[in-house]
Structure 1
Amino acid sequence: MIDSLKQYPAMKDSGVSWLGQVPGHWDVRRMKLLLREVDSRSISGKEQLLRVSQYTGVTQRKSVDGSDAADTRAASLVGYKRVMPSDLVINIMLAWNGSMGVSRYDGIASPAYCVYRFKPGAMPWYYHELLRLPLYKGRIKTASTGVVESRLRLYSDDLGRIEAIQPPPAEQAAIVRFLDWANGRLERAIRAKRKVIALLNEQKQAIIHRAVTRGLDPSVPLKPSGIPWLGDIPRHWEVMPLKFLCRRIQNGATPSTSEQRYYENGTVPWFGPSSISSSIELGRPVRHLADIAFEDGKARLIIGPAVLVIVIGATAGKMSLLLGDGATNQQITAFELKSDRIAPQFGIQQLRTSEHWLKSTASTATIPILDSGVVNRLPLAFPTVGEQECILSALSNDTLPLNTAISRLEREIDLLREYRTRLVADVVTGKLDVREAAARLPDEAPLDTVEDDADLSDETEAADEEAIA
């Protein structure tokens, strides 16, 4: 059905250089004519807390332990902004990267956000797709107030001046219907590939776990390790607390964002919990810090190799390996390893076997927090560095076919996402006509396309709350 889509029979110049041509019967209007800001505040603070992400739009912030408690560090949610289904919620500090979306939920959002309600003739879910396009992200960035990227803000007046495409209401509905169907098909394909990746990762982790806890020789004599998640280990291996295998242990810090000199022309990567995923290697840094941040004592330089452990927050217990130099925020503790005792890759692979146990020890009164003493005393079982390197070399060979298969599937998922982005852009901007296709679609239950990946959450949410708490 997608392959049979055609262009509109008549196009016209939109009158806006960055929009180009649009279908002849579509209008172009300022956003201020399509929506209005609403500012209703919570009296009780008991409503469902919502979050806004550039990846997943507006979602519910669920407590890490599955309870009804709010997943937040704010002392109170009284005064948070009320959000109704079909309202547009925008993180004004990150609007330029797409941190906005239409809500499916009744709830509350950070007072640092803006909430808008669409006027008659503007279908919320059409504009949800339109405003999150790369094309519109660029326009929003130029419309935002501020000098440098990290200080950009999209205020209501800025949003109101942005030009918006307006198809007839019935056509907006047809576009939303078609995209729901197409996104459902693509999401099912992506989820099927994710399931295969999960199975391959399980197989890979089983190989890794055996190697870093038993070594390569299956006939080697064993002894009890006294460590629940390790079990028996080779008799000649040592067991030692993590803190004795480190050159230095330190917590991170966050330089004030109001001091732009700490971030301008920064070269040192600064990591947060969102940088730590299921991979042993660190993901993207949240920001980069300038040398002056360290000279003023507002940040602490980590000399790699170091194990970074999240000690505060919903993902407490997760860890990754920093090979070079860097810095972290205060939710992360860095353990700079003694490389003459522990091969960094061996250390992180074994330590990650403790993640579930470590998370279970976190306090859950308000937000999960790990006891520093417990983390410092995490036991490591290890042979000589030479034997560790042999184990790592064997693991590299044994897991190569699995890594190749996983990489291929991940690339296929990336291609599906790229195709989805291009399809959405072509449909909502009038490059493809979906009216007939939408009319032929069967009625189907919508697929929940929100990605359940905590690694995609926005690092700045906690900072927003701390600023207003």
Structure 2
Amino acid sequence: MTQRHKEYKPSGVKWIGEIPAHWEVRPGFTCFEENKDRNKKLIEKTVLSLSYGRIIVKPEEKMTGLVPESFETYQLIKPGDIVIRTTDLQNDKTSLRVGLAKDKGMITSAYLGLRCKTEINPEYVFRLLESYDAMKVFYGMGSGLRQNIDFWDFKRLPVPTPPYAEQTRIVKFLDIKTAEFDAAIEKKLKLIDLLLMQKDVLTNAAVSHGIRPEVPKVFSGLDWIGDIPENWEMVPLTKYARSVVDYRGKTPEKVADGVFLVTAKNIKRGKIDYLISEEFISPKDYPKVMARGLPELGDLIFTTEAPLGEVALVDRTDVAFAQRIIKLRLRKDRLNPRFVIYAMQSQYFQSLLAREATGSTAQGIKASKLHKLKIAAPIVNEQIDIANYLDHVTSNIDSLVSHQRIEINKFRELRASLISETVLGQIKV
């Protein structure tokens, strides 16, 4: 049973509501200042990154393409600094934008760095800004359709401020409670990984060896596939494609509402996820953006870079396609699209794709190389049987994964609610 404070008073801020009577609401500039320390003379070597609400040391394999001279403009970070990604507010409303530094290092100056004043606990401010992020407060800052905000916007940001000792108690309380939520979420994420691994094993076996074990096997001619049923053949992906459309080109102008723009981010594990990223183009720009080919139900779409090799079938035609997507319209008398989707998600196809990919900062494949990508395929009736089999055996796995994700979302909502109620004084600790 949570306790409330004895007395409350109006905060003067509508979305904050009432706060404990002994708290005050201070403008941001009285609590923190902008971090303007820069990595002059390259005194710091450790590169940090903001990832999923955590500031982590950037892995060396992701440092490709950066030159040492560019690091001089990076901001120096020390433990207790707060980092906020204040860019792309209009298009990206799902990312976790706030992180608290645990390590020394440097991070791009494209992020806003905050350094708390001595009477303010930085971990408390981090928790407060984390709750503001969950409440989407940042998206209402600034004016008009500004994509970015800066320290000027944070100067007047209202900061409910309890006494320092109470800030520290709040931090300790939330550290314990959020750790419990995080452990429960991590357990469910591991279960999802195991379920998806099971699904991959079933898929790999069916699309490379078939579902009739009595059929003799022959060598496919490719080491990374091995033996395939003797009545199968290795088919170039484009051999039975009626059309191949590469939507590479100029990035279309985004608008607040209009025609849904399917980007590479929306294509995940054989499906189009319309919630993971929501971008739109103007209806008047649609004919120009889609001039190379309009979508039809059952068309296959394939991501060529960042991420590489995600596939899905078109399930609605009132959409546009962004860069880094190729659309194939298959001859259904020779290739069943559902079977091809499963085959392209298989380990052997993804290995082949990795062999043909190029690029230093991000691996990608050009449309001109698609003919080198092959799938193992039986006659079309057997393809349909395999697709039906996989639909059946993986549907239970998909249901279990979906249930776990619903539970994770519930935990995340409860976690965010607990943080918000605590830092806004609705819970006494």
1:56 paired with 2:45, answer no
Deviation at 1:28, TM superposition (A): 0.6
Report 1:248-267 matches (<5 A).
248-255=244-251, 262-263=254-255, 265-267=257-259
What secondary structure is seen at the aligned counterpart in 1 of 2:159?
strand
| TM-score, scaled to structure 2 | 0.85
- Indicate conservation of the 8 Å contact 2:3/2:427, yes or no: yes
Give the distance between the partners of 1:363 and 1:227, measured in 2 at CA: 20
1:87 paired with 2:76, answer no
Deviation at 1:323, TM superposition (A): 3.8
**1:392-416 CA deviation, whole Å, 9 max, x = no partner?**
2222222233333222222222221
Residue from 280, 284, 303 that aligns with 2:270: 280
Give the distance between the partners of 2:83 and 2:373, measured in 1 at CA: 42
Deviation at 1:153, TM superposition (A): 2.3
What secondary structure is seen at the aligned counterpart in 1 of 2:345?
helix
- Residue 92 and residue 194 in structure 1: after superposition, are their counterparts in 2 closer, same or farther (change >3 A)? closer
- Indicate conservation of the 8 Å contact 1:144/1:152, yes or no: no
What secondary structure is seen at the aligned counterpart in 1 of 2:415?
helix
- Indicate conservation of the 8 Å contact 2:48/2:107, yes or no: yes
**1:163-194 CA deviation, whole Å, 9 max, x = no partner?**
11111112112111121111222222222222
Give the distance between the partners of 1:386 and 1:294, measured in 2 at CA: 37
Tell me whether 292-301 or 370-379 shows the greater mean CA deviation: 292-301
Matching residue of 2:391? 396
- Residue 195 and residue 81 in structure 1: after superposition, are their counterparts in 2 closer, same or farther (change >3 A)? same
Amino acid at match of 1:92: T
**1:293-313 CA deviation, whole Å, 9 max, x = no partner?**
454569865625454444444
Residue from 316, 334, 351 that aligns with 1:341: 334
Report 1:62-461 matches (<5 A).
62-63=59-60, 67=61, 70=63, 77-85=70-78, 86-94=80-88, 97=93, 99-133=97-131, 137-145=135-143, 147-148=144-145, 151-246=146-241, 247-255=243-251, 262-263=254-255, 265-272=257-264, 274-277=265-268, 279-283=269-273, 284-296=276-288, 303-304=295-296, 305-313=298-306, 315-325=307-317, 326-353=319-346, 354-359=349-354, 362-363=357-358, 365-370=360-365, 374-434=369-429
Deviation at 1:422, TM superposition (A): 1.4
What secondary structure is seen at the aligned counterpart in 2 of 1:105?
coil
What secondary structure is seen at the aligned counterpart in 2 of 1:423?
helix
- Residue 206 and residue 296 in structure 1: after superposition, are their counterparts in 2 closer, same or farther (change >3 A)? closer
Matching residue of 2:5? 8
Give the distance between the partners of 1:170 and 1:14, measured in 2 at CA: 21
Aligned sequence identity (%): 25
- Residue 9 and residue 110 in structure 1: after superposition, are their counterparts in 2 closer, same or farther (change >3 A)? same
Amino acid at match of 1:186: F
What secondary structure is seen at the aligned counterpart in 2 of 1:101?
strand
Q: CA RMSD in A?
A: 3.1
Give the distance between the partners of 1:230 and 1:328, measured in 2 at CA: 32
- Indicate conservation of the 8 Å contact 1:426/1:432, yes or no: yes
- Indicate conservation of the 8 Å contact 2:290/2:321, yes or no: no
- Residue 349 and residue 298 in structure 1: after superposition, are their counterparts in 2 closer, same or farther (change >3 A)? closer
| TM-score, scaled to structure 1 | 0.78
**1:186-242 CA deviation, whole Å, 9 max, x = no partner?**
222222222222222222222222222232222123222223343222222232111
- Indicate conservation of the 8 Å contact 2:132/2:138, yes or no: no
What secondary structure is seen at the aligned counterpart in 2 of 1:204?
helix
Give the distance between the partners of 1:131 and 1:243, measured in 2 at CA: 50
Matching residue of 1:457? none
**Any stretches of 5+ residues in structure 1 without a counterpart?**
435-469
Give the distance between the partners of 2:340 and 2:290, measured in 1 at CA: 29
The aligned length equals 416
